[in-house]
Structure 1
Amino acid sequence: MEAPAQEQHRLSVPLVLLLATLFFTGAPSAAARGEAATPSGLHPVVLLPGFTCCQLDARLTDEYEPPPSSPGCGARRQGRGWFRLWENYTALQADPALLPCYQDQLRLVYDPAAGDYRDAPGVETRVVSFGNTRSFRFDDPAQNDACMERLVEALEGVGYREGANLFGASYDFRYAPAASGLASAAFSALRSSLTRLVERASARNGNRLAILVTHSFGGLYAAEFLSRAPLPWRRRHVKHLVMLGLGVGGSPLILQELFGSTFSLLPSPKVYGAAPLVVTRARNYSAGDIPEFLAAAGYSDDEVARYRTRALPVPLDFRAPLVPMTSVNGVGVPTVDKVVYWDGNFTEMPRVVNGDGDGIINLEGKSGNPDCNLEAVLALQRFVGDDPDQPYFKSVLIPNRTHNGLVSDELGLRSVVNEIMEANRATSF
């Protein structure tokens, strides 16, 4: 949300196409606060998916003006009610000309008076099916690998049931959490809705504490949600956080293409230090040089300032959730470690240098500083596992498992369900 999407043409991959392709410490038997699950009941699970799994509806008002490059955008939609804006593969496959229309209608604009982002003029949007998992099912079966439908099925296989003890919390992925204290209406609304959902899930299940299970970008939202929730509330309502496919400190992959929410996933200086992440003939850019990189890529002074004030403080201020936590990540898959724009042309596809990871989230994040040699996934050990107030932290690394494989293939699903069931069985501290 830190860069208006109408100004995001400067880097190479179109927004919609990019989104469509992406994206131990403590005793192992005591994983959470609250009562242990009994044989007759499970702790409720609330799923927060990755952003490719969050579906959005939209409707166009008379105020909507199509982009000059695609004057026909909206002609069939204006004033005709809600339609599926994201993800709508069936419509795009039937009519590829809709791609620039959907990209224009997904963009956000910054309102200086409100100090916040909003939909483009003439576009109204809503999240599909908050509270349940129905929005995790797509019209294109191939997209289920990137979503949570197979995880839902696996949980149903061990006794979970939709609306009884299994819930979904989709969100508008375009609005990343802003730094604490700044206007962020969309994230504030999500926090309120998610608070009520967790409380309702707990109440429906004999006041058993809820287990939050996240995938990819959903982990960022859950971590910020928990860090901003009162500690007594966390201990009263949340048994465990199971975070799949997200390290800490961002990913160099995001440097290939920037749009609003990804600003909060840019590599953090706190993790990557002085390691070169963007390489050009003229100079290299580290995580600490991202403002200069954004300027060189064509972003305005105002946009760079919003990165500094709205986005950067979020990863810099990452804190332990202070509820029991398990992190599950794939490793052993080639993953972008740095990007090369040798001629300094940021409108072209870069060459990439790969390291280890899950194909999206990289494991290695060497800083070039012998006193700071962290890893994007294993940095969680420092920021969570080493916090004396964190009740429990466990890191699970699954060899040769991709980012989406954690929630789609047999081995990934079996490992994830095992961790959720372990959290169910854990006794109180």
Structure 2
Amino acid sequence: MKMPCLVIPLLACLCLLASRSSPAYGATTSSGLHPIILVPSYTCSTLDARLTDEYRPPPGMPWCGAMKGKGWFRLWKNYTALQDPRLMPCYADQLRLVFDHAADDYRNAPGVETRVVAFGTTRGFVDDPATKDGENLFGAPFDFRYAAAPPGQPSKVFDSDVSRLRRLVEHASSKNGGKPVILISFSFSGHLALQFLYRTPLRWRQRLVKHNLLLSRGVGGEVVLLKIFAAEDAGPSSNVLFYANTSRSFASPLTMLPSPKVFGRAPPLVVTRDKNYSAFDLTEFLADVGFSDAAARYQRRALPVTLAIRAPLVPTTCVVGVGLPTPVQLTFWDGDFGKMPQVVNADGNGDVTLKTVLAWRTVIENDPDQGYFKLVLLPNVTHNGVISDDFALKQLVEILAAVNQATS
């Protein structure tokens, strides 16, 4: 049975909000609420795949090629494969990315083609689409394995996701009488939302984006991700993202590593008996835990994007939980990165530290052109609780109601 996506409680509240003032199906409205585009959380988007003749199954596992030449099938999340240990290696092999040095870009494994399911609708990340799906509520699922690259370096799939989001914004606005859209993103999907805003002309985004709502998103990355890169047993063996280092082949986790701008050189993020690692030493850290290729890509591709985070120059609200223990330092005392570390915690939402959240104020204050910005801190609300707890959902509905009433 398919497990529900974390956006479902939020989606239900958005449907209630949308139903207060919406046109008949298929109609265009010049009144009522602003259209909402929801960008789902990391790993929430559904991906299909098909295998070409080029695909070669892992050694000794010919059954992994059973779908070769049989058209599209569900790759993420494939719950049949997740429940069958025999299929787990197939699933992991077909989900992984490789870095094509000739093209200077990430791509699927040889012989694997993928597509995002039901872009433009909430069907791309939930079983039961929203009742106002495609009217004034839209979904922007994306391939969460990819991430932005700095100017001059290719990122074909991510750039395609950005282009599709731009067309969706134009479509949603046109369908709703030219009203600008409210863009809602959660956690990592804020990476796509922000990069999208950075890459659109200023006049265009200020005309077509009413508000940018970032949920559980900080400026400076997550220390907890260092545990995943360091320790092979950092996650459950039943999770395909941890199987055979699948998630470590993705571009996206590298963009979520702690930012030197936010964390500085002290205190160190990772401590061992012989060596400490600050946010300035993550290239060396990745190499020392056995990912030299990832270290080079982090230094050249991910880090410049992290350091370039800036004000989006559209009205923005950031909502994040606080008041919960959140990792800020990992200790592998004997230098054995294969073991679970001792963890030092500070304030945050369990994943994102308060320090990275407060850094938004610095980013915004440094740009006089930003205009409206509000940081909303929800006490004792977890990272995921922002889109599932009753208290948090009530706050989000109030924020959206105020955004709709705002005249500028």
TM-score w.r.t. the length of structure 1 is: 0.80
Q: Secondary structure at the match of 1:51?
A: coil
Shift in Å at residue 345 of structure 1? 2.1
Q: Paired residue for 2:390?
A: 410
Higher RCO (CA 8 Å, separation ≥ 6 residues): 1
Q: Sequence identity of aligned pairs in percent?
A: 56
Residues 138-157 of structure 1, C-alpha deviation per residue, up to 9 Å, x if partnerless? 5xxxxxxxxxx8xx86xx6x
Q: Paired residue for 1:348?
A: 339
Code of the residue aligned with 1:421 in structure 2: it is A
Could you say what the CA RMSD is over the residues aligned between the two structures, in angstroms? 2.1
2:189 is matched with which residue: 218, 230, 241?
A: 218
Give the 5 Å matches for 1:298-337: 298-300=290-292, 302-337=293-328
Residues 181-222 of structure 1, C-alpha deviation per residue, up to 9 Å, x if partnerless? 211101111111111000000001110001100001111111
Please give the alpha-carbon distance, in whole angstroms, between the structure 2 residues aligned to 1:313 and 1:411. 37
Residues 384-407 of structure 1, C-alpha deviation per residue, up to 9 Å, x if partnerless? 244211011000011111111111
Q: Paired residue for 1:25?
A: none
Please give the alpha-carbon distance, in whole angstroms, between the structure 2 residues aligned to 1:362 and 1:72. 45
Give the 5 Å matches for 1:76-115: 76-93=66-83, 95-115=84-104
Give the 5 Å matches for 1:188-267: 188-258=159-229, 259=248, 260=250, 261-267=252-258
The answer (yes or no) to whether the contact 1:202–1:237 under 8 Å persists in 2 is yes
Q: Paired residue for 1:362?
A: 353
Code of the residue aligned with 2:201 in structure 1: it is P
Q: Paired residue for 2:356?
A: 376
The answer (yes or no) to whether the contact 2:162–2:192 under 8 Å persists in 1 is no
Q: Paired residue for 2:242?
A: none
Shift in Å at residue 310 of structure 1? 0.5
Residue ranges of structure 1 left out of the alignment (5+ in a row): 1-19, 22-36, 139-148, 364-374
Q: Paired residue for 2:154?
A: 183
Please give the alpha-carbon distance, in whole angstroms, between the structure 1 residues aligned to 2:183 and 2:172. 11
Establish whether residue 287 from structure 1 lines up as the match of residue 279 from structure 2. yes
Establish whether residue 297 from structure 1 lines up as the match of residue 277 from structure 2. no
Task: Count the aligned residue pairs.
Answer: 362
Please give the alpha-carbon distance, in whole angstroms, between the structure 2 residues aligned to 1:125 and 1:377. 34
Residues 53-79 of structure 1, C-alpha deviation per residue, up to 9 Å, x if partnerless? 1111111122212223x6145243222
TM-score w.r.t. the length of structure 2 is: 0.84
The answer (yes or no) to whether the contact 2:30–2:176 under 8 Å persists in 1 is no
Shift in Å at residue 117 of structure 1? 0.8
The answer (yes or no) to whether the contact 1:385–1:393 under 8 Å persists in 2 is no
Code of the residue aligned with 2:88 in structure 1: it is L
Q: Secondary structure at the match of 1:378?
A: helix
Give the 5 Å matches for 1:21-60: 40-60=31-51
Please give the alpha-carbon distance, in whole angstroms, between the structure 1 residues aligned to 2:368 and 2:125. 37
Establish whether residue 127 from structure 1 lines up as the match of residue 119 from structure 2. no
The answer (yes or no) to whether the contact 2:96–2:108 under 8 Å persists in 1 is yes
Residues 283-332 of structure 1, C-alpha deviation per residue, up to 9 Å, x if partnerless? 110100101101111122x5422211100011101110000000000112
Shift in Å at residue 351 of structure 1? 2.8
